[in-house]
């Protein structure tokens, strides 16, 4: 017999649920503690509303206790057994004399009951204190099975916990599928040696833990309790079936995990390719000479399998191995200031931080998922604030904060807010002028109109101090 109950509110939704048409039959069998003569669906709705109203008067919105009682498959209860069930449940849960409603459902050829109690005591007017309800309902189930002569359901064992499911999502090893697979191997094996060999073929290793208990190591190196992955069996059942399992020479768990980590370290990382620094310098200089815009410079670097990133000391080029090359060493005197002067749209492109690019390249080499930190490539704040937590000293944190503030201040000075009195019309502008205006011109109009003097309007006054509402 299966029993599950919980405290809840919402009498209207509960009455609709108890009278759903998806059930083959719905019968209101009993209503206690109410002045209703006819047992109908309308009476049930009134009874639940009255229970809830009493709870509102006592200052609680969840004064209903809803329990579902389902006999074992192939078993059914008659009227006398149903009445005994309600009294037995109320006595052991402490609901004697409380308001109660009983509804019987038949669904897919199986009988089950819904019991709804008001947890407020009608005599004292106090809220009944519920303690260890799951344990009490488990005892009630075993007691009713013994009284009615119903079979006890075979336990399926504990289901996978939340952290196990989350770990399975990360590693790709679903604990539920693993449970079915290990259970099938257990049922088909005749001896302990055959059981261990079948686990090995399936990619699992049976080992002994710190306290000499049997544990499993899956395909990615995570640890599982053996009996948690065999459905409906206990350690006594395992020892009874495989009497010689304790005599097997199994590897220690610590040694096996260490060997798997060493093997993973050797195989997961792709071998580094030799990249000549002079070749990198030559490729970057050629891309710089042949490019007219920052977007074109970006594209030429990507074609050569390089990435342009921004760091604390300016821009840097990262090769496919994840190694960093500072732009000032690659371009010499043309670096930084010359880069910004030639590629005016580079500020609008806003490359990603160097650390993020290196992390992505290394993660790609390992074949893992890329974990992105920060809000994207447009902001420099995540580069300082959202880095992995390391035990930095207070002095180091102060230096990082000052550097971040100085860089942000310099950016605001280089790219001031658009003037308040500038309202240019873009009708008839050349395509290149439109592109420059969208990229950087709206941030620095005096510089834009100095490059495009033919587009400057008469009577337009540039305000250095932006207005903020």
Q: Is residue 224 part of a domain?
A: yes
Q: Is residue 29 part of a domain?
A: yes
User: Are residues 137 and 25 both part of a single domain?
Assistant: yes
Q: Which of 216, 246, 268 is the last residue of a domain?
A: 268
- How many residues are present in the chain? 469
Percent of the chain with pLDDT over 70: 75
Q: Is residue 444 part of a domain?
A: yes
Number of separate domains in the chain: 4
User: Are residues 179 and 87 both part of a single domain?
Assistant: no
Structure tokens at 179: 């449970």
Is the Cβ–Cβ distance between 178 and 224 less than 8 Å? yes
- Predicted confidence at residue 392, as pLDDT, reads 46
Three-class DSSP category at 7: strand
- C-alpha span between 447 and 370 (Å, rounded): 40
Q: Which of 148, 181, 199 is the last residue of a domain?
A: 148
Is the Cβ–Cβ distance between 319 and 304 less than 8 Å? no
User: Are residues 51 and 140 both part of a single domain?
Assistant: yes
Write the CB contacts of 64 (distance below 8 Å, at least 6 apart in sequence): 7, 8, 9, 11, 14, 48, 51, 52, 55, 116, 117, 118, 119
Q: How confident is the model at residue 172 (pLDDT cuts 50, 70, 90)?
A: confident
Beta bridge partners of 101: 31, 116
Mean pLDDT rounded to a whole number for the chain: 77
Place of tokens 């009476």: 43
- C-alpha span between 292 and 206 (Å, rounded): 63
User: Are residues 15 and 136 both part of a single domain?
Assistant: yes
Diameter of the chain by CA atoms? 100
From 41-50, 65-74, 233-242, the region with the lowest mean pLDDT: 41-50
CA 264 to chain CA mean position, Å: 25
Better-predicted residue by pLDDT, 44 or 382: 44
Tell me the CATH number at 104: 3.30.930.30
User: Are residues 421 and 446 both part of a single domain?
Assistant: yes
Better-predicted residue by pLDDT, 14 or 388: 14
- C-alpha span between 5 and 116 (Å, rounded): 9
- Predicted confidence at residue 433, as pLDDT, reads 83
User: Are residues 251 and 282 both part of a single domain?
Assistant: no
Write the CB contacts of 119 (distance below 8 Å, at least 6 apart in sequence): 7, 63, 64, 65, 95, 98, 127, 128, 130
Q: Which of 222, 242, 268 is the last residue of a domain?
A: 268
341 by Cβ neighbours in 10 Å (0-12 / 13-18 / 19+) ranks as: exposed
User: Are residues 368 and 320 both part of a single domain?
Assistant: yes
- Read off the DSSP letter of residue 374: S
User: Are residues 258 and 309 both part of a single domain?
Assistant: no
For the stretch 392-409, what's the b/e string if a residue is b when 16 or more beta carbons lie within 10 angstroms of its beta carbon?
eeeeeeeebeeebeebee
10 Å Cβ neighbour count for 25?
Answer: 9
Q: Per-residue pLDDT tens for 387-402?
A: 444 444 555 555 556 5
Q: Is residue 180 part of a domain?
A: yes
Quote the radius of gyration of the chain (alpha carbons, Å): 36
Better-predicted residue by pLDDT, 423 or 297: 297
Q: What is the mean pLDDT of residues 172-180?
A: 88
- C-alpha span between 308 and 326 (Å, rounded): 10
Q: How far is CA 110 from CA 4, 85, 152, 215, in A?
A: 17, 17, 17, 39
Q: Is residue 156 part of a domain?
A: no
User: Are residues 139 and 196 both part of a single domain?
Assistant: no
10 Å Cβ neighbour count for 192?
Answer: 19
User: Are residues 141 and 237 both part of a single domain?
Assistant: no
pTM equals 0.42
Q: Is residue 174 part of a domain?
A: yes
Better-predicted residue by pLDDT, 251 or 346: 251
Long-range contacts of 332-335 (CB under 8 A, 24+ apart): 334/288
User: Are residues 259 and 296 both part of a single domain?
Assistant: no
Q: Which helix (H) or strand (E) holds 165?
A: helix 162-171
Looking at the predicted structure, is the pLDDT value of residue 103 above 80? yes
Q: What is the mean pLDDT of residues 161-167?
A: 84
Write the CB contacts of 201 (distance below 8 Å, at least 6 apart in sequence): none
- C-alpha span between 30 and 102 (Å, rounded): 5
Is the Cβ–Cβ distance between 193 and 186 less than 8 Å? no
Per the structure, the complete domain to which residue 312 belongs is given by: 277-396
Q: What is the mean pLDDT of residues 31-51?
A: 76
Q: Is residue 332 part of a domain?
A: yes
Looking at the predicted structure, is the pLDDT value of residue 267 above 50? no
Q: Give whichever of 274-278, 386-390, 409-413 has the largest mean pLDDT.
A: 274-278
- Predicted confidence at residue 114, as pLDDT, reads 92
Q: Is residue 200 part of a domain?
A: yes
Looking at the predicted structure, is the pLDDT value of residue 74 above 50? yes
User: Are residues 188 and 138 both part of a single domain?
Assistant: no
Looking at the predicted structure, is the pLDDT value of residue 459 above 50? no
Phi, psi of 400 (to 5 degrees): -60, -40
């Amino acid at each position: 017999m299966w029993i599950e109950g919980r405290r809840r509110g919402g009498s209207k939704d509960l009455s609709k649920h108890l009278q759903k048409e998806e059930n083959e039959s719905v019968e209101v069998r009993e209503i206690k503690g109410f002045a209703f003569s006819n047992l109908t669906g309308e009476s049930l709705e009134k009874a639940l509303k009255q229970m809830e109203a009493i709870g509102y008067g006592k200052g609680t919105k969840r004064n209903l206790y809803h329990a579902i009682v389902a006999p074992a498959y192939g078993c059914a209860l008659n009227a006398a057994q149903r009445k005994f069930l309600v009294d037995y449940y109320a006595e052991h849960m402490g609901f004697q004399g409380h308001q109660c409603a009983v509804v019987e459902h038949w669904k897919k050829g199986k009988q089950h009951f819904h019991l709804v109690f008001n947890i407020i005591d009608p005599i004292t007017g106090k809220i009944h204190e519920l303690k260890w309800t799951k344990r009490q309902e488990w005892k009630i189930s075993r007691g009713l099975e013994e009284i009615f002569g119903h079979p006890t359901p075979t336990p399926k064992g504990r289901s996978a916990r939340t952290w196990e499911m989350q770990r399975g999502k990360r590693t790709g090893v679903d604990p539920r599928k693993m449970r079915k697979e290990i259970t099938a191997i257990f049922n088909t094996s005749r001896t302990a040696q055959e059981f261990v060999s079948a686990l090995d073929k399936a990619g699992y290793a049976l080992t002994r833990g710190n306290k000499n208990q049997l544990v499993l190591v899956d395909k990615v190196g995570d640890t599982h309790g053996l009996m948690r992955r065999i459905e409906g069996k206990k350690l006594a059942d395992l020892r009874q079936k495989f009497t010689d399992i304790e005599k097997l020479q199994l590897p220690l768990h610590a040694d096996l995990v260490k060997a798997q980590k060493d093997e993973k370290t050797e195989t997961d990382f792709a071998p580094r390719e030799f990249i000549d620094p002079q070749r990198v310098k030559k490729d970057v200089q050629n891309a710089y000479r042949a490019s007219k815009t920052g977007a074109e410079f970006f594209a030429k670097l990507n074609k050569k399998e390089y990435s342009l990133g921004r760091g604390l000391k300016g821009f840097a080029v990262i090769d496919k191995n994840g190694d960093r090359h500072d732009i000032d060493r690659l371009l010499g005197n043309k670096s930084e200031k010359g880069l910004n002067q030639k590629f005016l749209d580079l500020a609008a492109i806003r490359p990603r931080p160097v650390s993020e690019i290196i992390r992505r390249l290394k993660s790609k080499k390992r074949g893992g998922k890329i974990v992105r930190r920060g809000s994207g490539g447009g902001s420099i704040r995540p580069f300082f604030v959202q880095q992995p937590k390391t035990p930095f000293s207070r002095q180091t944190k102060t230096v990082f904060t000052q550097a971040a503030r100085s860089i942000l201040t310099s950016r605001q000075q280089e790219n001031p807010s658009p003037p308040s009195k500038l309202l240019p019309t873009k009708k008839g502008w050349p395509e290149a002028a439109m592109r420059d205006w969208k990229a950087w011109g709206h941030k620095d109009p005096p510089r834009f109109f100095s490059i495009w003097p033919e587009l400057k309007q008469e009577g337009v006054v540039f305000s250095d101090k932006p207005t903020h509402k």
